[in-house]
Amino acid sequence: MMIPSRLLSALAASILLAGGTSACAHGTLEGGGQNDDVIRTARVGVSREAAPSIAPGAPAAVAAPPTTAETFDAVSDALDAAAAAWTSGQVDAVMATYVHDEPLLVFLGDTPLKGPDSVRAALDARAAEPGGLGALSYEWFETLQFDVNTAVVSGRAVMTRGGKTHRGLFTRILRRTADGWLIVHDQLAWGPEA
């Protein structure tokens, strides 16, 4: 069977764009007086960002986009800040980790919350219950960077609340903003008793 050269070229380009290798970082996170091991995986490889277009004769001084490693570190820092905010029990601190001026969708267990007002109301109600918000940490997570402004992080979260520990999977979509990396979509899938 003869494969046209254009098809081979397109296939090779697709492999290069979709390719990449994984880099793992293993560290510890301080939370609630105990250390939780965290395995973090970042995508390393070919950038999918298009080169900025520059008009003829215009100055070419364009700031370089952050490297994958820099983005991974910034996203990891944002997740650490989100866990610390949650563990602090302060609803305002948790809300500061979410976007302020974009659509926001949060799932706490199987409850969908749309927009900052409904998220705040649910967090206020939870904070008023015995055990408050609880303590949040991560067992592991993996980061997939779509572009210099968007990352998806999935992993396992650990919630300790009212003397009980619950584990559940999570997915968070983060967007790079002027205020740093903020959560746009948050799905925390643990049981109703957490």
For 128-157, the pLDDT digits (tens) are 999 999 999 999 999 999 888 999 999 999
Provide the whole-model pTM.
0.68
DSSP E strands in 45-163: the ranges are 105-108, 111-114, 135-147, 150-161
Go through the domains of the chain in sequence order and give each one's CATH number.
Answer: 21-43+67-189 (3.10.450.50)
- pLDDT at position 18 over 60: no
Q: How far apart are CA 194 and CA 192, in angstroms?
A: 6
